[in-house]
């Protein structure tokens, strides 16, 4: 009997009162956030879409509490609008606002990348070299979804190497905003499916961090922001507005 009790104690994942442990709850919150963030980036949750909390639970496969926490964070990130008694509204994309915020991201990224290149440990540098090698090997065959997964890893690595937790909460929503812009640009803009330009800019950042070349890292970061600015120029001139806000009625039933 004593052995059986000890075995049960080893495999138990709750807090002894039937509730998931705090660690498991936090893991679920983070996983729910990541899943909803991914749906936003890939426009599976369309900009301008209205939905209920229950629908979001069904789409993600997570329960009410993790989804509720994730939605609250994404609301603070200005990606989801909570409308009491009316459900949720996936925030439409405002190109003018997001282009303006690109200047903020430029300054913040300069600060972060400088810290990351200066503070990168051997582990961080090895990770950067590993991702760099993967990008080079898969350069010709990477899908947009695969690249976005790697891009998320790069952002996380740079923030971890920088070693300042405050920056994570500040930059993470900006990364999501512009990852979604990049997805729409490469997926829906004519002649923009090629990922080689954005891959080259990320390779330059990885190489600079891996070799702890601070000034090169800052220049590579600025070049990536400039590249993103060019995306806005094309999208402002030729994007279907329904991709930015699906609630807009089509013209002539198109």
* Spans of all domains in the chain: 20-90, 95-241
Closest CA to 222 of 120, 125, 116, 107: 107
pLDDT in tens, 198-225: 999 999 999 999 999 999 999 999 999 9
Phi and psi angles of residue 246, each rounded to the nearest 5 degrees, phi first? -70, -10
Kindly report the pTM of this predicted structure.
0.84
Q: What angle do CA 110, 219, 229 make, to 5 degrees?
A: 80
In this structure, CATH architecture of domain 95-241: Up-down Bundle (1.20)
Domain 20-90 CATH (choose: 3.40.50.720, 1.20.1440.130, 3.40.50.360, 1.10.10.10)? 1.10.10.10
- Going along 73-227, which residue ranges are E strands? 80-83, 87-90
Helices 144-162 and 95-119: crossing angle in degrees, nearest 10, is 50
> Do the beta carbons of residue 218 and residue 113 sit within 8 Å?
yes
Residue 14 confidence (pLDDT): 44
Does residue 11 have a pLDDT over 50?
A: no
* Calpha distance 111→43 (Å, rounded): 30
């Amino acid at each position: 009997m004593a052995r059986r009790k000890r075995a049960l104690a080893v495999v138990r994942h709750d807090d002894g009162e039937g509730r998931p442990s705090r660690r498991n709850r936090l893991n679920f919150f983070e996983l729910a956030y990541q899943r909803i963030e991914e749906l936003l980036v890939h426009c599976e949750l369309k900009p301008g879409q209205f939905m209920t909390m229950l629908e979001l639970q069904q789409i993600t496969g997570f329960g009410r509490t993790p989804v509720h926490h994730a939605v609250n964070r994404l609301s603070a990130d200005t990606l989801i609008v909570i409308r009491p008694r009316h459900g949720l509204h996936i925030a439409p994309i405002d190109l003018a606002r997001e282009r303006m915020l690109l200047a903020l991201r430029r300054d913040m990224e300069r600060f972060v990348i400088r810290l990351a290149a200066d503070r990168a440990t051997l582990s961080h540098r090895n990770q950067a070299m590993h991702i760099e090698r993967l990008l080079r090997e898969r350069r010709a065959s990477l899908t947009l979804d695969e690249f976005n997964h790697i891009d998320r890893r790069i952002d996380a690595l740079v923030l971890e190497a920088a070693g300042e937790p405050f920056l994570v909460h500040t930059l993470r929503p900006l990364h999501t905003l512009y990852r979604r812009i990049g997805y729409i640009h490469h997926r829906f803009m004519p002649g923009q499916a090629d990922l080689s330009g954005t891959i080259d800019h990320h390779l330059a950042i990885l190489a600079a961090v891996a070799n702890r070349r601070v000034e090169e890292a800052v220049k590579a970061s600025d070049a990536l922001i400039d590249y993103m600015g060019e995306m806005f120029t094309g999208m402002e001139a030729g994007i279907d507005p329904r991709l930015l806000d699906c609630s807009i009625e089509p013209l002539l039933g198109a």
